């Protein structure tokens, strides 16, 4: 079980989704 890869991948995915959310929010505001 590669916990490092799982945590890193999950963290990266959350960061990407968070950035996209900020961009979309800024576009609509």
Q: Give the whole-angstrom CA distance, residue 6 versus residue 15.
A: 14
pLDDT at 29: 73
Q: What is the pLDDT of residue 13?
A: 87
- Residue predicted with more confidence, 5 or 16: 16
Beta strands in 1-29 (DSSP E): none
Least Cα distance to 2 among 27, 10, 12 occurs for: 10
User: What distance in Å separates the CA atoms of residue 15 and residue 5, rounded to the nearest whole number?
Assistant: 15
pTM: 0.57
Handedness of CA 4, 21, 19, 22 (dihedral sign): negative
pLDDT, averaged across the chain: 81
Q: What would the mean pLDDT of 1-26 be, rounded to a whole number?
A: 81
Q: How confident is the model at residue 21 (pLDDT cuts 50, 70, 90)?
A: very high
């Amino acid at each position: 079980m590669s916990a490092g890869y799982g945590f890193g991948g999950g963290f990266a995915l959350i960061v990407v989704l968070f950035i996209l959310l900020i961009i979309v929010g800024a576009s609509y505001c």
